[in-house]
Each structure stands twice: as C-alpha cells, then as structure tokens.
Amino acid sequence: MGKYLDRLTVKEFEEFTKQCKTVILPIGIVEQHGYHLPLRTDIDNVEKLLEKCVDRIDAAVAPIVPYCYSGGELKGTINISPQVFSLYVMDICSELVRNGFLNIVVLLGHGGTDNRVALENSLKMFLKKNPGMEDVTLSLIEIFYLSDLWMKEFTTGPEYDFNAGYVETSLMLYWNPQLVKEDIIMDEPYVARMMRTDQDWFEVQQKAVDHKFIIPKLKQRDEIKVGVMGFPEKATREFGEKICNEMIENLIKYIDLINREK
C-alpha cells in the first residue's frame, strides 16, 4: 500500500523507506482550459488519479509540483521556463535519491513538446553527471500513455483531441463535475480546426531577418482567444471513468514491474 510522503513523520518515513524504494513525483500546471474547465485541470489529472490508486500501489507519492511550461499565453496560464522547471525537478529527484529511493517515476499531468523535451534532457543529464547512480531508475510518464482510449483520441485524425477537449472534459466530469461549466465556447471555426489538426499550431515563429542563422521568436497566435483544442461537446462522465480505470490499471502494472526489477 502506498503512502503520501508529506503526511509521514520522520520516524514513519524511515520505517516506510526501508521497504519501499519507489516514489511517484506528480507534476501539473496552472493553465487555461477554455471557458468550461478550471485552470487546475492538469493538476487534477494526476492528483485525482493517484488518490484513486494510492492504496493499490507499492510506492510513495511525493507532493505535486503544480507549475511547469505551457507555452500558451492566454489569461490564467502561469509558465515556468522549461529550463528552470526541468532543473527544479532534477533537484527534487536528487533529494529523493538521497533519501533512499531507487525508482523515481515522474508523472506528467501536462504534456507539451517543449516541456517534455526539456525535462527528459535534464533527467538524462542527471544520470550522466552522477555515475554512482547505477541502481537508480528514472521514469518519465505522460499520463495519456497510460490509456489506450486517450491515445486513440490523440492519434486518430485528421483532427485530434488535445487541450480541454473530449478526454479532459470527460475526466473533469468524473474527477470534479462541480468545476465544469455547461456552456462550451470555442474559437472561430478555422482556428479551432487548426488547433485540432496540430497541437503546436498555437505558436507562430517570427524572425526580424529571414535567415537560417536567426533564432526565431515564438509567440501565441493573436487569433486564439479561447484555446480549446478538441471536441468537448462529446464529453461524458462515463468516458472519463473508463479512461481513469485504464490509467489506474496500467500505472499499477508499471509500478509492479519496476519493483520486481529491484
């Protein structure tokens, strides 16, 4: 049975870590999710998931990191630069290892290309720069990979379901229905369609001089006003529960797998 680290005393922590060598570090973000979902949607995506399976996993659960990098610039989004964020997580991992954990599972409630790439590179460098950590296993899991149903919505085109769409709205109807607004507002049809076609379309590159040596400036497209990237009108609580159950079972299996290897 798992435990939340911040609810233990020092003595309880010492006893627990004699047997448990695996810890999950959940990461969310404060980010716009349209006009119908709260800014804490990606926080709930990891917190609520872990609440529902903590008693079934042989792992500690560290306090959530509630900020990372979105790249979006709509009101309500709080961005931490990917370099600072990834170094911050690297320091937390270092401390978890110092406290005796051998398996660290970084569980991302928010994806995003720049966010994930920066974090993955920092974790690789962390292992490279600390050659005495041969017994340490670092895992990076974006939660949607724990659900085949969720991944199907990401990969079945030509238009896909991303931020604040079918899946996330369904999950919030399951996690926290009182926070979901009934009225769904979308961007203009062309903008909404383009965001469903390419999850990185929201950013545009600008160069003062059109030359390959110039580093482009990235900014959110001015025409984006709402930021929903998917099909929230299809959402149901039942679909959210199915996705949740898939994530629970696959996370339990993964934790069991890495525990058996130690």
Instruction: Show the tokens assigned to 187.
Output: 């961007």
How confident is the model at residue 157, as a pLDDT?
83
The confidence score (pLDDT) of residue 262 equals 62
Pick the CATH number of 3-260 from 3.20.20.190, 3.40.50.10490, 3.40.50.10310, 3.10.20.740: 3.40.50.10310
* pTM confidence score: 0.94
CB 80 within 8 A of CB 118: no
The per-residue pLDDT string of the chain (262 residues; one tens digit each, 9 = 90 and over) reads 899 999 999 999 999 999 999 999 999 999 999 999 999 999 999 999 999 999 999 999 999 999 999 989 999 999 999 999 999 999 999 999 999 999 999 999 998 888 999 999 999 999 998 888 889 999 999 999 999 999 999 998 899 999 999 999 999 999 999 999 999 999 999 999 999 999 889 999 999 899 999 999 989 999 999 999 999 999 999 999 999 999 999 999 999 999 987 6
Q: Given this model, what pLDDT does residue 111 score? A: 84
| pLDDT of res. 250 | 98
Closest among 43, 129, 145 to 93, alpha carbons compared:
129
Pairing of strands 217-220, 203-206: antiparallel
